[in-house]
């Protein structure tokens, strides 16, 4: 088969690769209905995160199970399944506590920008839909594999409650779906920080009540203004830079919560500032597996449409154009059809 390999920064190729095979008795092979490019794929693409050798890309996936190993008991060939970027057994103490992305046996799932994918720990990792989904649900189910799950974790980790005032830093797919998640959890006021008209519009359709275009100290001042000088109850940091983190901490009320779900790059925190601001911090790689059943239900019953973040759809072989479009911010997120 052909699959997506990053050779060096900016050099994405769709090239001949060996077909995935069952390696462990707990593996499954999934034929992908759709896959996509993630904001986090842009870190190595831009050379900010170093790669040591040509690397298979992609970690967001959904599709039909083709084959399972001898040890797989609950997942069966023919099922439509969704999994997360970390495979997990879903039975160890960390999984039971809801932190499947810290599973004692976790394994990164890589190489999903391909027609077929090997998923380790299939029983613990994959969640099947009630039946084969109609085509129009596939983008939203795919979004649940990462960006919706990550946005949901952002809202959950920041303890968003009914009536809360929430601010979201970042207008990428995760930030937009953090807006949607906060709305689902009953937030009354949702302030989205964005400078892009198309993204502002989508944020509003997902439940944002206010838009703040300013950044840095001006952005913080604007949020303080909008909250009568109190700050937001919950600030969802969905970028991972020093600037976005400082903005999030500065916009939170004393006793409030900051969640951070973008992989931090070059971020350092001032402990004294945190100490005197009384801010809770909670973040990390989202335990998407914990939320998958809830997210699939919401999508299946058509209560939410997280798939709207895909504003570009390409055949898988044009994956390099998907990276370019996202890198140049011409697209929020590129969906790829094998
Ligand atoms: Zn991702
Ligand atoms: Zn586990």
Query: Which sequence spans correspond to the domains of the chain?
Result: 2-146+287-337, 148-283
Protein residues placing their CB within 5 Å of the ion ligand 1: 38, 146
Distance from residue 85's CA to the centre of ligand 1 (Å)? 7
The ligand whose atoms approach the alpha carbon of 121 most closely is 2
Distance from residue 60's CA to the centre of ligand 2 (Å)? 20
- Please tell me the predicted confidence (pLDDT) of residue 264: 92
Q: What is the mean predicted confidence (pLDDT) over 112-140?
A: 98
Q: How confident is the model at residue 122 (pLDDT cuts 50, 70, 90)?
A: very high
- Please tell me the predicted confidence (pLDDT) of residue 127: 98
For residue 276, give the 3-state DSSP assignment.
helix
Q: What is the mean predicted confidence (pLDDT) over 3-28?
A: 97
The ligand whose atoms approach the alpha carbon of 38 most closely is 1
Q: How far is CA 163 from CA 186, 189, 208, 215, in A?
A: 6, 7, 14, 25
208-233 residue pLDDT tens:
999 999 999 999 999 999 999 999 99
Q: CA–CA separation, 209 vs 206, rounded Å?
A: 9
> Are the C-beta atoms of residues 262 and 283 closer than 8 Å to each other?
no
**Residues 148-283, CATH architecture:** 3-Layer(aba) Sandwich (3.40)
SS3 content of the chain, % helix, strand, coil (to 5): 35, 25, 40
Distance from residue 323's CA to the centre of ligand 1 (Å)? 13
Which homologous superfamily does the CATH classification assign to the domain defined by 2-146+287-337?
Medium-chain alcohol dehydrogenases, catalytic domain (3.90.180.10)
Distance from residue 105's CA to the centre of ligand 2 (Å)? 6
- Please tell me the predicted confidence (pLDDT) of residue 95: 98
71-93 residue pLDDT tens:
999 999 999 999 999 999 999 99
- Please tell me the predicted confidence (pLDDT) of residue 64: 98
The ligand whose atoms approach the alpha carbon of 87 most closely is 2
- Please tell me the predicted confidence (pLDDT) of residue 220: 97
Note the pTM of the prediction, 2 decimals. Answer: 0.97
The pair of three-digit structure tokens given for residue 109, joined into one six-digit string: 């799932």
The pair of three-digit structure tokens given for residue 9, joined into one six-digit string: 């920064």
Protein residues placing their CB within 5 Å of the ion ligand 2: 88-89, 92, 95, 103
- Please tell me the predicted confidence (pLDDT) of residue 313: 98
The ligand whose atoms approach the alpha carbon of 143 most closely is 1
Least confident of 9-13, 109-113, 272-276, 322-326: 272-276
Distance from residue 84's CA to the centre of ligand 2 (Å)? 13
142-167 residue pLDDT tens:
999 999 999 999 999 999 999 999 99
Distance from residue 98's CA to the centre of ligand 2 (Å)? 9
Q: CA–CA separation, 251 vs 219, rounded Å?
A: 8
> Are the C-beta atoms of residues 179 and 248 closer than 8 Å to each other?
no
> Are the C-beta atoms of residues 136 and 127 closer than 8 Å to each other?
no
- Please tell me the predicted confidence (pLDDT) of residue 303: 98
> Are the C-beta atoms of residues 60 and 34 closer than 8 Å to each other?
no
The pair of three-digit structure tokens given for residue 230, joined into one six-digit string: 């109190």
164-219 residue pLDDT tens:
999 999 999 999 999 999 999 999 999 999 999 999 999 999 999 999 999 999 99
- Please tell me the predicted confidence (pLDDT) of residue 205: 98
The pair of three-digit structure tokens given for residue 280, joined into one six-digit string: 């809770």
Q: What is the mean predicted confidence (pLDDT) over 99-127?
A: 98
- Please tell me the predicted confidence (pLDDT) of residue 322: 98
Distance from residue 40's CA to the centre of ligand 1 (Å)? 6
Distance from residue 121's CA to the centre of ligand 2 (Å)? 10
Q: What is the mean predicted confidence (pLDDT) over 56-66?
A: 98
């Amino acid at each position: 088969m052909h699959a997506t390999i990053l050779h060096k920064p900016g050099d994405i190729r769709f090239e001949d690769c060996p077909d995935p095979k069952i390696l462990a008795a707990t593996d499954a092979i999934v034929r992908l209905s759709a896959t996509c490019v993630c904001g986090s794929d842009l870190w190595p693409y831009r050379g900010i995160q170093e790669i040591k050798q040509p690397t298979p890309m992609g970690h967001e996936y959904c599709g039909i199970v083709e084959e399972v190993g001898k040890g797989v008991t609950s997942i069966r060939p023919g099922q439509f399944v969704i999994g997360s970027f970390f495979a997990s057994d879903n039975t160890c103490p960390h999984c039971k506590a809801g932190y499947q992305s810290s599973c004692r046996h976790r394994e990164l799932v890589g190489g999903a920008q391909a027609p077929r994918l090997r998923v380790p720990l299939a029983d613990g990792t994959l969640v099947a839909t009630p039946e084969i989904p109609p085509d129009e649900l596939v983008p939203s189910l795919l979004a649940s594999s990462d960006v919706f799950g990550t946005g949901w974790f952002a809202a959950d980790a920041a303890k968003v409650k009914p009536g809360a005032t929430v601010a979201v830093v970042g207008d990428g797919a995760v930030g937009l779906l953090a807006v949607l998640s906060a709305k689902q959890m009953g937030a009354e006021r949702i302030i989205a920080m964005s400078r892009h008209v198309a993204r502002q519009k989508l944020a509003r359709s997902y439940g944002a009540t206010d838009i703040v275009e300013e950044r840095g100290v001006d952005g913080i001042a604007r949020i303080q203004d909008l909250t009568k000088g109190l700050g937001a109850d919950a600030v969802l940091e969905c970028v991972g830079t020093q600037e976005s983190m400082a903005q999030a901490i500065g916009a939170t009320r004393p006793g409030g919560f900051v969640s951070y779900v973008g992989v931090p790059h070059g971020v350092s925190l001032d402990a004294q500032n945190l100490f005197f601001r009384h801010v809770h911090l909670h973040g990390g790689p989202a335990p998407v597996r914990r939320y998958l059943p809830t997210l699939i239900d919401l999508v299946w019953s058509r209560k939410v449409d997280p798939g709207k973040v895909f504003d570009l759809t390409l055949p898988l072989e044009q994956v390099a154009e998907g990276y370019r479009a996202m890198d140049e911010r011409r697209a929020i997120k590129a969906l790829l059809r094998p």
